[in-house]
Structure 1
Amino acid sequence: MTQTVLDRARAGDEQAFRELTEPYRGELRLHCYRILGSLSDAEDLVQETMVAAWKGIAGFEGRAAIRTWLYRIATNRCLNAKRDAARRRIAQPTAPFRVPEPNGRNEVAWLQPYPDALLDQVADADPGPEARYVGREAVELAFITGLQLLPPRQAAALVLRDVLGFPAGEVADMIGAGPTALKGILQRARASVDRHRAGEDPPPESSEEERALTRRFADALTAGDIDGVVELLTDDAWLSMPPAPHEYHGREAIAAFLASGAAWRAAHTVRQLPTRVNRQPALGYYVMDPGPGFAYPPGLTVLTFRRDRIRAIIRFVDPGPLSRFGLPDAL
């Protein structure tokens, strides 16, 4: 960044403003996604951040880096959105077959997947040795879900400090907390997130072991082999279907849910295509009627592994266009 570009932006030059801010759009989107758990909300919040930055660039004095200034704006927008989200109602999908009574409830119904293609476009700036969550673990769905269960300031503080590595003083200033209060906020946030993620030990990313487990799951589900799916599950496995509130915990409950839809699936053509989201294996899920020319809206299934078993199945009922995930929108 040169002072000339900043001066031009302050004077109202839109091209200079874009030159200053566009390099950070991708990482700001990921930052907002971590706090909000929703890709669509994150994209909206980044746009709001850029509008607010454009309106405020004339008063930017340069005491902090442009990146830090943008993160401050984005974080404040996210905190406001988190508070507003408590009043937001999410439309719940209706299954085309009768489902058994769930034995759990999804508390993060707004959760959305994040395409690996977007993750590949941006890497977090080197957070330094103090970062606690780096690389794959900082974007996996278990981590993102754990963040959603935190109070807004705890989630923001943990991401800013333990993922992005901002200095403690800057984080305290961004979330409006004193240094002592920040320590307590981080301690509580870390304990909660670590409890939520306890037991995760997946095979190496994109390894043959991971691909083989994913293929076995896809083949068994497509063939209607419920026993084959259950054989792959850990004893404490669970299945959820955002934005539906239903969750099924344990092998028996998951088997009952799969069995309830077996007859319906048998009357349709089911195809699954592999992709990746949140650095995890995923499957685009397509269901077609026996008659020509019609298919149900496709979904996306994301698998979380513990060693050589499946710990979680997250079936996103309405993930948006699958082209965002490197898949065809329809078959």
Structure 2
Amino acid sequence: MTSHLRPAPNQDRFAAETERFRRELLAHCYRMVGSAHDAEDLVQETYLRAWRSYAGFEGRSSIRSWLYRIATNVCLTALRSRRVRVLPSGLAGPYDGPDRPPSPAAPGEVSWLEPLPDGWIFPADDDPAVVVVARESVRLALIASLQHLPARQRAILILREVLAFSAAETAEILETTTAAVKSGLQRARARLDELGPQPAELLEPADPRARALLDGYIAAFEQSDATLLEQVLRADATLEATPFRDWQAGRTMCIHVLNEYVLGAPGDWRMLATSANGQPAAVVYQRDADGRLRAYGVVVLEVTATGVTSAVAFHHSTLLTTTFGFPDTLAD
């Protein structure tokens, strides 16, 4: 392709050429940093830098590749000064000590992974087949595993295996060599293999079986009924919740902790169904001392045809509720 220097920037032309990539760039930044709010800020920075250099874009690569080059480098710069975001299962093995309430981390001690609302990256009118493939790339377990890779290896793996850029295109985006890309990809794959097996095939949030299991999980909390949990959780289910360091493995332990320290009385909890990270989820409200239902967080389920294999609750920020488009308080 013959390169050409563009005339003075035009805002309408810039928007027409770049805005259609905003959602996928948001997903890319989220995979890199593990935070929906940070990803949103990084996409804003990406578009600001792109606008500033738009007049000098010579068309040697596609506009999409050019944007990914900017976004990836914005993320890599940001990650230099940030701690790795994790889930409780990324800190240590499941808790098997004496019976006690889960132990929270000290404020600021851990940077927690955040869920991503499906509505941010999956438009309602998208091709369902395309959405199914895209959801697999933002599954919570994958995002958590990616955070354990060195930042450049993370970028290489995402660019090559999620976004399907060639080794040459990835090298250009990262300003390195194809040999370095191939070596980095090999090391990233090996590290992911060390982090554990991939989960069983997950159901889509719209699958009736997934919705039935989500409804059962919600009913268990709203009715304070541990028997319902027995019906929806698989024997090998895990339970974790930020900002608590402890997490549980096995249905028996999960139900014990929830029944003893969480469920409370019928009516203490309300949950509203949603979806996050391509998985069934619910926005959580807890009744306070004044009897009001106040935002408490978000729970994301990993659901298979044989039951719920994982429940991850994010309690560390009520901002999550508004992020998902729900109010701070809920009327009875």
**Structure 1 and Structure 2 fold alike (TM over 0.5):** yes
Q: Paired residue for 2:39, among 33, 38, 42?
A: 42
Q: Point out 4+ residue stretches in structure 1 off by more than 6 angstroms.
A: none
- Aligned residue identity for 2:309: R
- Superposition deviation, residue 230 in structure 1: 4.2
Residue aligning to 1:20: 17
Is 1:118 aligned to 2:120, yes or no? Answer: yes
Mark the CA change 1:138 to 1:87 in structure 2 (over 3 Å): closer, same or farther.
closer
| Count of residue pairs the alignment pairs up | 307
Q: Is the 1:49–1:73 contact (alpha carbons within 8 Å) kept by the matching residues of 2?
A: yes
Do residues 276 (structure 1) and 254 (structure 2) align?
Answer: no
How do 1:1-331 and structure 2 match up within 5 A? 7-8=6-7, 11-86=8-83, 99-100=101-102, 109-121=111-123, 134-193=133-192, 196-262=196-262, 265-266=264-265, 269-289=268-288, 291-292=290-291, 294-317=292-315, 318=317, 320=319, 322-331=321-330
Task: Kindly indicate whether the alpha-carbon contact (under 8 Å) linking 1:267 and 1:289 is maintained by their aligned counterparts in 2.
Answer: no
| Structure 1 residues 224-263: Cα deviation after superposition (integer angstroms, max 9, x where no partner) | 2234324533343222223443322333442342134247
CA gap of 1:212–1:295, structure 2 versus 1, over 3 A, is: closer
Residue identity matched to 1:249: A
Q: How far is 1:304 from its partner?
A: 0.5
- Please report how far the alpha carbon of residue 86 of structure 1 lies from its aligned counterpart in structure 2 after TM superposition: 2.2
Change (3 A) 1:100 1:323: closer
> What is the deviation of 1:268?
5.9
- 1:22: Cα distance to partner? 1.9
Q: Extract unaligned runs of 5+ from structure 2.
A: 87-99
279-288 or 316-325, which moves further after superposition? 316-325
Q: TM-score, normalised by structure 2?
A: 0.80
CA distance in 1, matches of 2:174, 2:110: 23
Structure-2 change in CA distance of 1:110 and 1:175 (3 Å): farther
For structure 1, the 5+ residue unaligned runs are 90-97, 128-132
Summarize deviations over 1:126-151 as a string: whole Å, max 9, x none: 99xxxxx9333112111111211211
Distance 2:61 2:246 in 1: 45
Quickly say closer, same or farther: Cα 1:69–1:319, change in 2 above 3 A. farther
Q: In 1, Cα distance between the equivalents of 2:166 and 2:148?
A: 24
**CA, structure 1 residues 227+38, in 2 after alignment: closer, same or farther (shift >3 Å)?**
same
Instruction: Give CA-to-partner distance per residue, 1:276-327, whole Å, 9 cap, x none.
Output: 11221111111123535x4433311110024312211111112625354354
Query: For residues 29-50 of structure 1, what are the alpha-carbon distances to aligned partners after superposition, in whole Å with 9 as ceiling and x for unaligned?
Result: 1110111111100011111111
Check the 8 A contact 2:234/2:307 in 1, yes or no: yes
CA drift of 1:175 comes to 2.5
* Cα separation, 2, equivalents of 1:164 and 1:81: 21
Find the aligned partners of 1:87 and 1:250 in 2 and give their Cα distance: 27
SS in 2 for 1:285: strand
Q: 2:84, 2:157 → 1: CA distance?
A: 24
Per the alignment, in what secondary structure is the counterpart of residue 305 of structure 1? strand
Secondary structure in 1 aligned to 2:115? coil
Q: What RMSD, in angstroms, separates the aligned Cα atoms of the two structures?
A: 3.3
Aligned-partner SS, 1:114: coil
Counterpart of 2:232, as a letter, is L
Q: Is the 8 A contact 2:103 2:245 kept in 1?
A: no
Q: TM-score, normalised by structure 1?
A: 0.80
State the shift of 1:273 in Å. Answer: 1.3
Letter in 1 for 2:258: L
